[in-house]
Chains A and B, each alone.
Chain A
Amino acid sequence: MTTIFDVPIQAFLGQLLIGLINGSFYAMLSLGLAIIFGMLKIINFAHGAQYMIGAFAGYLLLATLGIGYWPALILAPLIVGLVSALIERLALSRLYNLDHLYGLLFTFGLALALEGAFRYFYGSSGQPYAVPKELAGGYNLGFMFLPKYRAWVVLASLVICIASWRLIEKTKLGAYLRAATENPTLVRTFGINVPLLLTFTYGMGAALAGLAGMLAAPIYQVSPLMGSNLIIVVFAVVVVGGMGSILGAILTGYMLGILEGLTKVFYPEASNIVIFVIMAIVLLVRPAGLMGRDAG
């Protein structure tokens, strides 16, 4: 049997794939966090809950209305985005003039309440969500077995990340967003509706989390707590990547996911903490993060 550093190559590649899958979710989630933080200067603690609701929306659409995977892939993020935009309008927008910490605390409360509510109605145990039949099965690559759905997730997340990044860096809407981040007052004097832009941004960031949740539903089980432990890892990813940097968030997401997978092969005990260790090292060497601009 072929081995790499005394590890069977199958195990190595298997963990690499798991790492890549996790990395895809880290990237999508940290991207949404970075977008929201860039505009609203709010750390969206509810991001994990929004991810969970995305998965639940898909599950409920199927269970109650019989709406399958592909329509749900569009509907679930839309639902999460709209609900979140409403919350931004009603509550979050009142906190912009205060210290940023209040935004964090509010979204933290929101996350707790949402998770509690879903636990109350659906229990703590996970609900299975079947892989759509178009993506069932897998490819035998000779040296390992690659489930189709996992390949799809990696591909989809790459497309989503690149599309969002292009949207912000290259389009007119993206230019407005970036301008409003730099100087909201000035952008307002040009007649651009900044509050609406903020609502849109929050909705979009949350929808990205919902989309990630929908993609995750067939891989992990749909459970109320699926987002709560993930979100802290994603925070660490964002700190490593550099808080304001969208590209940094995406790249760091993939990188750390893969690194975590590899740690599972070579030193399983440390796999839970490797991302946090890297965060500590990055903070010591480069406090602004790998791709961050300011050292605020």
Chain B
Amino acid sequence: MNSQTRIVTTKRPALRLETLLIGVGVLALVLAPFYFYPIFIMKVLCFALFACAFNLLLGYTGILSFGHAAFFGGGAYFTAHAVKEWGLTPELGILVGVAGAALLGLVIGFLAIRRQGIYSTMITLALSQMFFFFCLQAPFTHGEDGIQNIPRGRLFGLLDLAEPLYMYFFVLTVFLAGLLVIWRVIHSPYGMILRSIRENENRAISLGYSVARYKLGAFVMSAALAGLAGGLKALVFQFATLTDVSWQMSGEVVLMTLLGGIGTLIGPAFGAALVTGLGNYFATSELPVTLVTGVIFMVCVLVFRRGMIGEFYASRLGRRLTRRDDED
């Protein structure tokens, strides 16, 4: 087994640096809608949450899922349906999306963790493709058209989310809450066991942990958070389509995570911002986005495996900052 080489671990001293970065980030995000186009930042936040949720599985448990679009897109569909057809309020609609995605995660995860490594990756891919075809044919998703004109509704029946700023701060709050959940999980004893599984699964088994249960737990949590991101996105853009469940979306979230830094708390969020920005930029140009993302993917795998945040931690400045924290 040479899986140890794969992931750059962030050791505990990095914690304080992370807190500092997050503080600056939150401040920037609170001010951002007054300077930038809010819809774009909301899009970035949705994908950032998606990528962080994905990273909970890849970076902290060592399972590469190539089917996370099923949870993201599934969450979007469920939320959209609940809000539009059942007339639920947005927060309840999102809960429906999260629950649905968690259930999907339970089923797909249960099958995927029957094999290890690359095998389970292929299983997630195939099962999410199965979900894609289900969405293509099921009546409630409206096939190629998708669910359109989803009302944003009133949060708790009070705040009208059609107001862009209300919507923005709602999305920001949910994003931060999601991040907090992930942070809490990875710094709990439970998260330590997940990491031990990532480092050496056989040893974790020999220590008496029922690895399958832990893996499934991480899978379901990751799926639920991806569903949360999907539900949010459905409300932000007011539509849910097949693009969100396609395997290309599963690939995109892998790229975001890889680019930002696998196994770092906030790396994937940066990766998501970069990929979303690039997507927006190249959408208007002649060059197909897939060509650009494909090339970035290859370059990343060959020479930039630590990702942006991972490289930063490994750089001289990053090391110095983390060491100073150590002395405190």
Contact = CB atoms under 8 A, between A and B. Distances in A.
A106 interface: yes
Given A108-B251, A283-B111, A287-B114, A239 B286 contact: no
A112 B127 contact: no
Contacts of A287: 114-115
Contact of B291 (A41, A99, A102, A120): A120
A260 B45 CA distance: 41
A165 interface: no
A233 to B, nearest CB: 8
Interface size class of B (residues with CB under 8 A): 35 or more
B306 to A, nearest CB: 12
A287 B111 CA distance: 9
Nearest to A105: B301
Contacts of A273: 130, 133-134
Q: Which residue, B66, B297, B301, has most C-beta atoms of chain A within 10 A?
A: B301
A286 to B, nearest CB: 10
A113 B298 contact: yes
A130 to B, nearest CB: 28
Contacts of A162: none
B296 interface: yes
Contact of A239 (B116, B126, B254): B126
A116 B288 contact: yes
Contacts of A104: 64, 66, 118, 121
Interface in B281-304: 286-298, 300-302
Contacts of B255: 109
A232 B111 CA distance: 17
Given A119-B290, A232-B247, A102 B6 contact: yes
B5 interface: yes
B122 A109 contact: no
A233 B126 CA distance: 7
Contacts of A100: 117-118
A104 B118 CA distance: 8
A118 B300 CA distance: 22
B201 to A, nearest CB: 11
A111 B255 CA distance: 14
B136 A272 contact: yes
A53 interface: no
A249 interface: no
A115 B254 CA distance: 18
B287 A120 contact: yes
Contacts of A111: 294
B303 to A, nearest CB: 9
Contacts of B149: none
A279 B295 contact: no
Contacts of B297: 105-106, 108-109, 112-113
A235 interface: yes
Contacts of A113: 290-291, 294-295, 297-298
Contacts of A1: none
A280 B127 contact: yes
A102 B301 contact: yes
A99 B5 contact: yes
Nearest to B5: A98
Given A235-B126, A239-B126, A277-B130, A101 B6 contact: yes
Interface string A78-118: 00000000000001001101111110111011111111110
B119 interface: yes
Contact of A109 (B3, B288, B301, B305): B301
A236 B301 CA distance: 25
A105 B66 CA distance: 10
A269 B301 CA distance: 39
Nearest to B129: A232
B219 to A, nearest CB: 15
B2 interface: yes
B115 A296 contact: yes
Contacts of B173: none
Nearest to A49: B294
B137 interface: yes
Interface string A195-222: 0000000000000000000000000000
A284 interface: yes
Nearest to B296: A109
A280 B128 CA distance: 12
Contact of B298 (A110, A236, A238, A279): A110
Given A116-B290, A232-B129, A279-B127, 6 more contacts: A91-B302, A98-B2, A105-B254, A113-B290, A113-B298, A116-B291
Interface of B: 2-3, 5-6, 64, 66, 111, 114-119, 121-123, 125-127, 129-130, 133-134, 136-137, 247, 251, 254-255, 258, 286-298, 300-302, 305
12 contacts: A91-B298, A94-B302, A100-B117, A100-B118, A105-B297, A112-B293, A113-B295, A116-B293, A236-B126, A239-B123, A277-B130, A295-B115
Interface of A: 41, 43, 91, 94-95, 97-102, 104-106, 108-117, 119-120, 232-233, 235-236, 238-239, 243, 269, 272-273, 276-277, 279-280, 283-284, 287, 295-296
